[in-house]
Amino acid sequence: MEISIPAQDGAWQMVITDSQGRELATLNGGEDARRYVLALSASGAYFVKIQASSSVSYRFSIGGDQLSPPGGSLFDQLMLTAIREVEPNDSFREARTLIPGSPVLGDFASTEDQGWFIFSTTTDAIIIPTLELELPAQAGRWRLSLLDQEGNLVAQWDSDPNRDQNFRLPLNKGTDYYLRAEPLESSSQPYLFQAGGDGILPWQSPSRYNQLIQSAAVEVEPNDHRLAAVPIEAGAVTGQLSSASDQDWYQLRTTAADVLVNLEVPAAPGGGVWQLTLMDAGGNVLSSWQTPTEGVLRASARLAWADTYYLSVTAAGDGASQEAYVFSLTGESLGDPGIRNPLANFHDVEVEPNDTPDQANPLAAAAAIRGQLLYDDVDWFRFEVAEPGYEIAFLELCPPGSPCTLDAGSSWVALVFDGAKLTPEMLGQPGVCMDGDSPMPSQYLYAQADSGVFGEALIASIDPSFGGNNQLELGFHQPGTYYVAILTRSERTEDGKVKCTQLFSDDMYQFNFTLRGLAPLTEDNALIATLQGEELSVPVVQVGEQLYSARLQRVSDQDGQMRFELIKAVPLENALERLDYEPLTGRRTWTTLEGDIAHIPLVEFNGRYYAADLQISQEGGKTVLRVLRANRLD
């Protein structure tokens, strides 16, 4: 190759590269005339790049034997117009829009690197979308995969260093597809391909938004809390938030364990942003995502149990968007979620007067209660545990999205009483509060409870003085009447004693309440743990994702502490074999191992029912469990 550069004003450089982008020579142009001769050792395409530090005009000429205009191999032809990939594009969430008909040139930084691209197909009634793919012969082995919008593999092709490859594949209309490039070996060589064809379009997120919203089921208001969650099945759902405090709740159910569900949320045309949160039946957050302002959020979550799950939609960013959101939920083993809670069509409101147990408002089996306290007011509510008993109550004070909050500076308190043990004499007996350094009698319920007036009649409490937990889950063995009292707490002295002043509050509060049955569990394969004689049987204990059946032998007590030795643990092949009643209730009694603590939610001992925490340690090569705490539930 002969290159002539005449004398000219301004300095610039000419860089000669081969088809792989390797620099072969750098030549200078400027005030002096120059002539270069460059020997090329291989046939193929070569490239000339001109660069300068400022604006400049340049002239040059190239000639030589065996030089021809560009053409030749398919690789060389595509390299002339190839568009280089834009990083990062290492996952489907970062996929770059494919420009149909334009070659794509990319590199693999490592054997784990991937290049993702996305495109759409036409909705035209006449055109059949057909992907036309060209893979030129090239050095370096790599694979190109075609995936649908759910992540399912449609087709894949491997590069070939010795031959060009062409493929045609008809696709579905009006949907999105991904192309994923990944290396099959460690190589510094780039990858090159071209994709296009009839009905193959650049990807645009509003088209996916419009596609989903046209076929989406519409939310049913009110669905502002978990108890009012709208049952949904696989498919698209659309809804709208009326304000920054509005929430939309949905309920789904899986019919098998270890189910992978996929969530797709396209960006809304108006730029609205929402937070989607996936929770289990107990309200524990499994995953949470913020929707994008462009593109599509595609996420997956693995649901470990056949159970009920919840999906909430709340405002994100600067506030609630007035436009509609739409999401699509897909996955195997998504069953009929059942009918909507018949009591979910309104927020229950306290009815005054309800200042004493005799005036207590009744609680339905599922309710979201709102009320208001004025200074030393106390609001009483009651619920019934019917024959034969064995029910579980769930109480959540100041849930997310409610008009109140519960933290270290909050004043809200909830007390739960056993009506069979709560007497008028107890209610009339004063407690003790501190007026400066002087103890004084007080008829305020908070001071009475702190002074121990109610004894075993007081079952449990939610009190920010002792931590930020705002939930209670209580098991009731005996049928009867039980009470919930909502009040404000008093300030405390430095040594923890109750002061004679209450924290003033005239704001609204809210609590959610559910009551569900628990079977007597007399079957041999029931999930309740039992302590009979010296042996503790735990039918189901979860360790990570594996379930076991375990037997513990009681050993000699030390320092008044009950201790057990692990005798046997047998893996359970199918957790569903252990369920002889409704799955949601069943999970409430499963023992779980978290770190070095085993939590047993329900254990029977001498006709009584307890919840217990056991600390695990190794002593002399044996696994020993020491009872940290045990609370009676009946």
pLDDT in tens, 134-169: 999 998 899 999 998 778 899 999 999 999 999 999
- pLDDT for res 423: 95
d(CA 593, CA 603): 15
504 compared with 619, residue with greater pLDDT: 619
Q: Does domain 348-517 have CATH number 1.10.8.10?
A: no
CA–CA distance, 474 with 281 (Å, rounded to integer): 15
User: Mean pLDDT: which of 41-55, 134-148, 198-212 is highest?
Assistant: 134-148
| pLDDT tens digits for range 465-521 | 887 678 888 888 788 999 999 999 888 998 889 999 876 666 788 898 877 654 333
pLDDT-based confidence at residue 44 (cuts at 50, 70, 90): confident
Q: What number is the average pLDDT over the span 287-303?
A: 87
CA–CA separation, 607 vs 602, rounded Å?
12
For the cut 80, the answer to whether the pLDDT of residue 573 exceeds it is no
Token pair for residue 337?
């979620």
Model confidence at 307, in pLDDT bands (50, 70, 90)? confident
Max avg pLDDT among 239-243, 260-264, 277-281, 347-351: 260-264
In this structure, are residues 525 and 585 in contact, taking their beta carbons and an 8 Å threshold? Answer: no
Which pLDDT score is estimated for 344? 47
**pLDDT exceeds 50 at position 343:** no
CA distances in angstroms from 266 to 272, 293, 328, 459, listed in the order given: 11, 9, 9, 48
CATH 2.70.70.10 fits 208-331, yes or no: no
pLDDT at 438: 94
pLDDT single digits (tens) 622-631: 888 888 777 7
Of 517, 538, 540, residue with least CA distance to 605: 538
Range ranked top by mean pLDDT from 43-52, 75-84, 185-194, 360-369: 185-194
Please give the pLDDT value at position 54. Answer: 82
Same topology between domain 80-203 and domain 208-331: yes
Predicted local distance difference test score (pLDDT) of residue 341: 56
The domain limits of the chain are 2-68, 80-203, 208-331, 348-517, 529-632
Q: Which long-range contacts (CB under 8 A, 24 or more apart) does 548-555 make?
A: 548/572, 550/591, 552/625, 555/624
Other Cβ atoms within 10 Å of 404 Cβ, number: 18
The residues that bridge with 48 in the sheet, in sequence order, are 16
Q: 578-618: per-residue pLDDT in tens?
A: 443 333 334 456 677 766 788 887 787 776 777 788 888 88
Instruction: Please give the sequence-ordered ranges of beta strands (E in DSSP) within 398-545, or none if there are none.
Output: 412-418, 431-435, 438-442, 458-462, 471-476, 480-488, 490-492, 498-502, 508-517, 529-532, 535-543
First to last CA, the chain: 95
Within 429-560, residue ranges assigned H as helices are: 445-450
Which secondary structure element, helix H or strand E, spans residue 522, and what is its range? none
Closest CA to 138 of 65, 78, 51: 78
% of the chain at pLDDT higher than 70: 86
Instruction: Tell me what the pLDDT averaged over the chain comes to.
Output: 82
Q: Please tell me the predicted confidence (pLDDT) of residue 575.
A: 43
Residue holding tokens 């088809």? 19
pLDDT band (50, 70, 90) for residue 270:
confident
Tell me: pLDDT of 218 over 90: no
pLDDT of residue 468: 66
Distance in angstroms (rounded) separating the CA atoms of residues 147 and 149: 7
By the 8 A CB rule, do 310 and 279 touch?
yes
Lowest mean pLDDT among 18-27, 173-182, 500-509: 500-509
C-alpha span between 304 and 257 (Å, rounded): 5
Structural contact between residues 230 and 288, judged by C-beta atoms closer than 8 angstroms: no
Q: What is the pLDDT of residue 72?
A: 66
CB contact at 8 A, 371 and 453: no
CB count, 10 Å around CB of 593? 17
pLDDT score, position 529:
75
Please write the tens of the pLDDT for every residue from 411-445. Answer: 889 999 999 999 999 999 999 999 999 999 999 99
* Residue 28 CB contacts under 8 Å (≥ 6 apart), including other chains: 11, 12, 13, 14, 34
Q: How far apart are CA 433 and CA 444, in angstroms?
A: 9
| Confidence at residue 345, expressed as pLDDT on a 0 to 100 scale | 39
Top pLDDT among 30 and 338 is at 30
Which class does domain 80-203 fall in? mainly beta
Tell me, what's the pLDDT at 586? Answer: 42
